[in-house]
Chains A and B, each alone.
Chain A
Amino acid sequence: MITAQSLELTYPETEQPSLAGVDLQLNAGEVLGVVGPMGAGKTTLCMSLAGLVPRTTGGEFGGDLEVVDLDPRQAPVPDVAQRIGLVFEDYASQLTQITVLSEVMAPMLNHDVPVKQAEAEARRLLSELGLARLDLEHKRTWELSGGQQQRVAIAAALAADPQVLILDNITGLLDPDGKEEIRSLVSQLSQRMTLVVVEQDIDLLVGVADQLLMLRDGQVSALGPADQLLRDLTALDDAQVEPPVVVQVAQAAGLPDNPLTVEELTSVVQSPDVMESAAPDVPQPAVLGPEVSAPVPEIDAPEPEVDIPGPWIRAPEPEVDIPGPWIRAPESDDRPKAVEIDHVSFAYPDGTMAVQDVALRVAPGEVHAIVGGNGAGKSTLLRMLCGLVRPSSGTVRMDGKNTRECSPAELARTVGTALQNPDEQITERTVREEIGDALRRRRTRRTGWFKREVVISDEQIAEAVDRAVELVGIPTDLMDRDPTHLSRGHRKLVAIAGALVLDPAVLILDEPRVSLDAPARAALRRLLHELRDRGTAVVIVEHDLDLVAETADTVTLLDLGRVVASGSPHAVFGANGAEALAKTSLRPPRAAQVAAAFGVDAITVAELATQLYPVKQEV
């Protein structure tokens, strides 16, 4: 279905090829997973397979390529469009119509599907992608939340019913339910089409991908059966990809082989010698307590039996203490809060109630995560925190300032913000200028009608930029590049560094994790810890709940604009929070899902591994 031989591509005005010597062989109905660090050429590969590179970008190409019996780089566009579908990572630019319904109907109308049939099919696709709740006929595409836009783009690509479907990192903005929906969608689609799936979230490829391609610097660093490569730690490390969560758990617990699925993991830890020699001092009833028989969250493996946990598991830790009502009681100390919002609501002009009666407190040095499904109102809430949107009712105080009383520009001196879409923020020609931009714009102060004095020197700007770059971990060789030509992950980092350059009292991050590879993700974790030490208050919106569980001090769970739970990560994601969580489109962090399969109440890999410690000793 797809055959590539020494595929090559060099963009105009660059010397390094973005793809070099890529060989591929994919049969009909197979799923190819593609992973690799930022800037490895994954998007270039996708665009080449769809014939868009070099057609729309220019550049030199080489090698042989055949996709569904034609070379998409040279075949007429309509022929390519009939056979190949592509969903881009850049969700905002691939919406071409005004309303949601017409966006999905258009590809079908273009292929002469009768209107009635197209509309029915469009509605079916949209509800399959979880958008049935929207007013499909009237909701404007550019007024959707990021995740909703991504879902519409997927529906529109499916509407064309291609034979080859290429998904370029499309799940980054989706909530956990959305990711699972994509996983089952991909398995289902693979019965009638061939898929190329670029993914940052490697767990989504487990059990779905047949082949795995690891790209690095435009070259194939590994290619082979996904089943093997996904647990091959050297290969994964080489491609700068984090191993799947089960592999991480097994590694942290010191298991000999690398199980890939929960099923495999249970069979490994249950092996007879482990059972026999397991610590007998753990009372079995404690393990089989009421928590254990609670419904086990679904993981890709068939549901493990509830009574699997053997005697080797430590008894669940005593329950984490959570105050009765879900909302944390206001703390009694008089320290000023960095963020204080009370009874805040916001409705968009089209009547969407995005945020309703939300209260939130963030202390200096606290990392506060806001989580919730797509369209839950997270980004809207952040826009209120940085003053871009004023609440319809209620007050927002940031670092003591009421956002009604100062302009966003004034507020930005103490509140740094990196928006969900980095492209909205990037305006300068080099990375260095871009990061220093917020400082440079404040370089002078008006002292008279025609007089301005310099208040920030160039050296100070350079220093601040270096500090921010180091904090965020941007490779120094990128400093003089044009930020618009960087990979999306790097653009995101640039936007974060730009928000940090003013050394803000509050830092607001909307989905920082999207598009980041393993090293950048580690850098992000370090950054959050460092900011906590420096006393910066951080408000972060994030769909990667494993990252949240590892780094946040407090978690607020939003659903349909309302706070449904708030507390420590354990309170929200652990066994006690399961009920509130299940009502939203979130699922516990992956590590917690694996833990639940063993009846352990852990929410991070590290925690789970310590609870599996007895096994490690015995093996």
Chain B
Amino acid sequence: MRVPLLYTEKDSFLHRRDPRIKLLLFAVVIVFLYTAPNWQWMLAASVLGLALSIAARVPPLVLLVLWLLQLPNFIGLVAIPLGQDLLAGNFSPFDGDLDFGLKLGLAWSAALFLSLALLSTMSPDKITDGMRGLKIPEPLCFLVGYSFLLMYASMSDIFRTIDAMKLKGIELTIRRPIESIGNMAKLFVPAVIIMARRAGTMMSTLQLRGFSFTHRPATTLGAVGAADIALLVAGVGALAVAALMRFAPAMLGL
């Protein structure tokens, strides 16, 4: 078993973009999810996100699994109202049509694919560096970086604990699913002990290596290039058009 990283260690157009730009685009995506005028926009965003994720060389299997994981949401938000619509003729939970459910359902896919395309192309170091470049307060940058590291470190610890537990005679194999699921609970205590033990040494090490909540380390960022700017302009432009379509009619009193 291998610790899964959010980051894909590959090279692509998106990998080469400046982390500050990608973080700004990530903010754009979040705003977009609230401003998209209708489900067609969400569908377009999902398709774009999927295309970008593929361009960012996220393994197709990962895309599929993550997408399937959020499928229940989609079904809940779309199929149930749809079914109810069909059963009750004109009974309408969402203001008389499916639009809202569909938009919300697709928003999950759009959010998933777009953030995957942006975040999977930045290592945790790049993410924190990008945050620093955007003048986000240091404690927050440090915390974000540290949580990534702790998460990965704990995951590798847990995998090792699982191995050791197997040697102690606890069945944890796919071939015996029922027994294994029951046995997963037995992992909890040892995993916590191991993480607590690690945290002490890790804190000491971080202190002695000069990490702190307040001091900003030297940045690894380079200059922002033309392609970065173009990407940001495209993202902000799309958001602006979406916002116009959504709010202009109301503002113009139409």
Contact = CB atoms under 8 A, between A and B. Distances in A.
B168 A438 contact: yes
Given A98-B149, A427-B161, 10 more contacts: A47-B204, A93-B200, A111-B210, A114-B218, A115-B220, A160-B208, A348-B2, A417-B167, A419-B163, A427-B190
Interface stretch (B33-41, B78-86, B171-179, B230-238): B171-179
Contacts of B13: none
Interface string A439-465: 001100000000000000000000000
Nearest to B214: A78
B169 A438 contact: yes
B240 interface: no
A472 interface: no
Interface of A: 47, 50, 52, 56-57, 77-78, 80-82, 84-86, 88, 90, 92-99, 102, 106-107, 109-115, 118, 138, 140, 142-143, 156-157, 160, 348-350, 383, 386-388, 407-409, 412-413, 417, 419, 421, 423-425, 427, 437-438, 441-442, 484, 498-499
A106 B217 contact: yes
A499 B9 CA distance: 39
Contact of B168 (A52, A96, A421, A437): A437
A142 B153 contact: yes
Contacts of B197: 93, 423, 484
B169 A412 contact: yes
Contacts of A50: 204, 208
B55 interface: no
Contacts of A140: 3
B16 to A, nearest CB: 15
Given A82-B210, A106-B217, A93 B169 contact: no
B149 A78 contact: no
Contact of A412 (B125, B167, B217): B167
A138 B11 CA distance: 12
Nearest to B219: A115
B246 interface: no
Contacts of A95: 153
Contacts of A441: 168-170
B130 interface: no
A408 B152 CA distance: 25
A113 B166 contact: no
Interface in B115-143: 123-125
B181 interface: no
A107 B166 contact: no
A160 B209 contact: yes
Contact of B152 (A93, A142, A383): A142
A390 to B, nearest CB: 11
A111 B216 CA distance: 9
Interface of B is mostly: helix
B170 A409 contact: yes
Contacts of A113: 218
Given A93-B201, A417-B167, A98 B124 contact: yes
Contacts of A102: 125
Contacts of B73: none
Contacts of B208: 50, 52, 80-81, 84-86, 157, 160
A118 B124 CA distance: 18
A356 to B, nearest CB: 20
Contacts of A99: 123
Given A81-B210, A93-B202, A97-B125, A427 B3 contact: no
B203 interface: yes
Nearest to A383: B163
12 contacts: A50-B204, A81-B207, A82-B210, A92-B198, A94-B201, A96-B209, A143-B156, A388-B166, A408-B163, A409-B167, A413-B169, A484-B197
A424 B194 contact: yes
Contacts of B210: 78, 81-82, 107, 110-111, 160
Interface string B154-168: 001000110111111
B209 A412 contact: no
B84 to A, nearest CB: 41
A407 B173 contact: yes
A109 B200 contact: no
A450 to B, nearest CB: 14
Contact of B200 (A56, A81, A114, A138): A56
Nearest to B148: A98
Residue among B153, B171, B198 with most chain A CB within 10 A:
B153
